Amino acid sequence: MANKIFIVEDDLPTVELLKFALQSEGFDVAVVHDGITALRSVEKEKPDLILLDVMIPGVDGFEVCQLLKHNIKFMKIPIIMVTAKVRKEDRMLGFEKGADDYISKPFDPIELVSRVKKLLSEKDLKGDSEPK
C-alpha cells in the first residue's frame, strides 16, 4: 500500500505542484487548506507524513505541528514544514515546535520528494510505522 502524505496548504498552485510531484512517485495524497481541519482530519486520514505550511487559516502551522507532536497518537508522524517563512528564527521555531524538516518556498519538487522518502525510510527503520 502506498504511503499517505497529508498536505496542509492553502495556496492552490502549491497544492497542485505538491500533489503532482508526490503522486508521480506513487504516494497517496490528501489535502486540507486550514489548521483546524488539519487537526480534525489527521486521525481519520492516518497519514504517514505531513507537509505543513505555516501561514494557513485558523490555527497556524507552528501550532498545528506542536499540537500533533505533543499528542501520543500522532507524535511519530514526520512533519515537514513547507513555508515562505525563511528567516533563521522561523526555522528554529519550526524545529522547536517539533518539525522533522523545514523547506523554504520556493522549493525544488524533486528535492522535496527526496526529503519525504528519506523521512519515511527513517520512520520505517525505527519501526514507527503502523500496520495498514
For residues 102 and 123, what is the distance between their CA atoms, to the nearest angstrom?
A: 17
Average pLDDT over residues 82-103: 96
Dihedral sign for Cα atoms in the order 72, 9, 116, 106? negative
**34 is in which domain, residue-wise?**
4-126
Specify the 3-state DSSP secondary structure of 98.
Answer: coil
Percent of all residues in the chain with a pLDDT value above 70, rounded to a whole number: 95
| pLDDT at residue 131 greater than cutoff 60 | no
Mean pLDDT of the chain: 93
32, three cell numbers: 486540507
Residue 132 lies in a domain: no
DSSP strand pairing (49-52 vs 79-83): parallel
Task: Tell me what pLDDT residue 126 has.
Answer: 74
96-117 confidence digits (pLDDT tens): 999 999 999 999 999 999 999 9
Alpha carbon distances (Å) from 10 to 54, 61, 89: 10, 11, 23
Query: How many domains in the chain?
Result: 1
CB half-sphere exposure, 47, CA atoms < 13 A: 27
With a threshold of 0.85, does the pTM exceed it? Answer: yes
| pLDDT at residue 76 greater than cutoff 60 | yes
Residue 131 lies in a domain: no
Nearest to 53 by CA among 89, 2, 23, 90: 90
Task: Tell me what pLDDT residue 128 has.
Answer: 60
Dihedral sign for Cα atoms in the order 87, 112, 100, 97? positive
| pLDDT at residue 127 greater than cutoff 80 | no
Specify the 3-state DSSP secondary structure of 132.
Answer: coil
| pLDDT at residue 12 greater than cutoff 70 | yes
Residue 92 lies in a domain: yes
18-54 confidence digits (pLDDT tens): 999 999 999 999 999 999 999 999 999 999 999 999 9
Check which CATH number belongs to the domain holding 111 and give it.
3.40.50.2300
Please give the angle made by the CA atoms of 128, 131 and 132, to the nearest 5 degrees. 125
